[in-house]
């Protein structure tokens, strides 16, 4: 049976970059944000539930209307929670299906909210990617072309690096000191030895 290794980290930690490097080395990676959007567009059960929750404007020309959804849920923690109870179980189920179709010894799942969405429950091991806050803020500002204040709001909505590190089997500091080759080798060794 294929083992699922969860990789998580806060905004600007470099988890996506590291997962893309693993993918370039030939390892299979499930990018949960990308796949969640796919499921929100393609899975009829999910679509109907989202329309029931957020109205017909949740989709425009049968395509997810992310602007409408963001305006609704980010002003209402209750709506956001209800949306998550629709999307997260569908993603979790999709991860299991995806992994079960693999003949690899292990595969990786990239998710900023691995624990919050309970994806960790289907993982054989978990890894946190961390970096000093100033580096994370700088990376996220550059990548997303947003202000520091906006990054701080996003960071406050996520688990802290300290909280995440207490929950995972391995923590990797991605502060630019260790090169990507060293980081990916550490991750692969961890996965092999699970």
pTM of the model: 0.90
Query: Distance of CA 104 to CAs 1, 9, 32, 101, Å?
Result: 8, 24, 19, 9
| Residues 116 and 194 occupy one common structural domain | yes
Is residue 112 located within the same domain as residue 97?
no
Burial class, 82, CB count within 10 angstroms (exposed 0-12 / middle 13-18 / buried 19+):
middle
Average pLDDT, stretch 77-102? 95
Taking residues 120-131, report their average pLDDT: 96
My answer on whether 39 and 19 are in the same domain is no
Taking a C-beta distance cutoff of 8 angstroms, is the pair 114, 126 a contact? Answer: yes
The range of the structural domain enclosing residue 96 comes to 35-101
**Lowest mean pLDDT: which of 4-8, 39-43, 155-159?**
155-159
Average of per-residue pLDDT across 2-31: 95
Q: How confident is the model at residue 143 (pLDDT cuts 50, 70, 90)?
A: confident
Given CA atoms 59, 98, 120, 155 in this order, what sign does their dihedral have?
negative
Measured from the Cβ of residue 91, the count of other Cβ atoms closer than 10 Å reads 24
**Tokens 């969405």 belong to which residue?**
117
Q: Where a domain ends, among 101, 121, 153?
A: 101
Mean pLDDT of 15-26: 96
Helices (DSSP H) in the chain: which residue ranges? Answer: 15-24, 32-42, 44-54, 66-73, 77-100, 133-144, 148-157, 161-167, 180-192
- For residue 156, the domain's CATH number is 3.40.50.300
**Average pLDDT of the segment spanning 59-64:** 94
Please indicate, yes or no, whether residues 137 and 189 belong to a single structural domain of this protein.
Answer: yes
Q: How far apart are CA 18 and CA 2, in angstroms?
A: 21
| Predicted pLDDT of residue 189 | 95
Quick one: 185 and 119 in the same domain? yes
**One domain, residues 24 and 50:** no
Angstrom distance (rounded) from CA 40 to CA 37: 5
Residues 124 and 55 in one domain: no
Span of 4-13, 91-100, 137-146 with lowest mean pLDDT:
137-146
Neighbour order of strands in the sheet with 29-31 = 29-31, 106-110, 3-9, 125-130, 170-173
**What local confidence, expressed as pLDDT, does residue 48 receive?**
96
Number of domains in the chain: 2
| Beta-carbon contacts of residue 80 (< 8 Å; ≥ 6 apart) | 73, 74
pLDDT one-digit tens code per residue, 107-120:
999 999 999 999 99
Tell me: do 183 and 87 sit in the same domain: no
Q: Residue 141: its pLDDT value, please? A: 85
**Residues 110 and 191 reside in one and the same domain:** yes
Claim to verify: residue 45 and residue 86 sit in the same structural domain: yes
Which are the contacts of 127, defined by CB distance < 8 A and separation ≥ 6? 5, 6, 7, 8, 168, 169, 170, 171, 172, 187, 190
Would you call 91 helix, strand, or coil by DSSP?
helix
If asked whether residues 112 and 24 sit together in one domain, one would say: yes
């Amino acid at each position: 049976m294929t083992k699922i290794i969860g990789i998580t980290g806060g905004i600007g930690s470099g988890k996506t970059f590291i997962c893309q490097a693993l993918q370039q080395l030939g390892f299979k990676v499930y990018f949960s944000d990308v796949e969640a959007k796919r499921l929100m567009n393609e899975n009829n059960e999910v679509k109907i539930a989202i329309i029931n929750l957020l109205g017909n404007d949740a989709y425009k020309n049968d395509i997810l209307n992310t602007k409408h959804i963001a305006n609704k849920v980010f002003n209402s923690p209750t709506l956001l929670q209800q949306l998550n109870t629709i999307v997260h179980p569908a993603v979790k189920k999709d991860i299991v299906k995806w992994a079960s179709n693999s003949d690899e010894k292990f595969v990786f799942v990239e998710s900023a909210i691995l624990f919050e969405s309970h994806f960790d429950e289907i993982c054989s091991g978990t890894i946190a990617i961390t970096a000093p806050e100033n580096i994370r803020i700088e990376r996220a500002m550059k990548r997303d072309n947003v202000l520091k204040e906006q990054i701080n709001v996003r960071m406050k909505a996520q688990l802290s690096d300290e909280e995440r590190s207490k929950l995972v089997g391995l923590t990797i500091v991605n502060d630019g000191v260790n090169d990507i080759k060293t980081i990916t080798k550490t991750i692969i060794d961890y996965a092999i030895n699970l």
